[in-house]
Structure 1
Amino acid sequence: MKHTLRITLGIVLVIIGMIGGLIPIFQGWLFGIPGLIILADYFPPVKRLLNWAKKKAGYNDNDGNNNAE
């Protein structure tokens, strides 16, 4: 049940983010990115997408290692 709720929440956030991308006064990425982060726990292609984005941004993980290297 918990997994179903998290997946549903992730999908809803991504859909709201996509709609927000079409409406000029609404910042869709504020909903889309958290939705993708939630879905990354369950869908490997989404996890690969987030890892790619982290690498491009030069994101540092918790132990101080730079994932971009």
Structure 2
Amino acid sequence: MVEWTLRNVKRLIIAVTGFIVMAVGIAMIVLPGPAVIVIPIGLGILATEFVWARTFLKHAKERMARFRKKAEIS
């Protein structure tokens, strides 16, 4: 039988919550709603436990900063 530690349970809850929030955000791309806000929130939740999400969120922030800087110049 699989032994569940408190850390594993916490990690599972964070993963499920993060993926649900991300799925809702992705659905908001075609449905009415603030997808641009909800998707990074889902990534932020996932980034608390997963390095790949932290890296992806970091790259997304850098791209947004470059986009904003480019928009200010134009």
**1:12 deviation in Å?**
0.3
Q: Max radius of gyration: which structure? A: 2
When the two structures are aligned, how many residues end up with a matched partner?
A: 57
Gaps of 5+ in 2: 1-8, 67-74
Gaps of 5+ in 1: 59-69
**1:28 deviation in Å?**
1.7
Give per-residue Cα distances to partners, 1:9-29, cap 9 Å, x unaligned.
100000000000111x22222
Aligned to 1:32: 39
Q: Percent sequence identity over matched residues?
A: 23
- Which has the larger share of helix? 2
TM-score by length of 2: 0.62
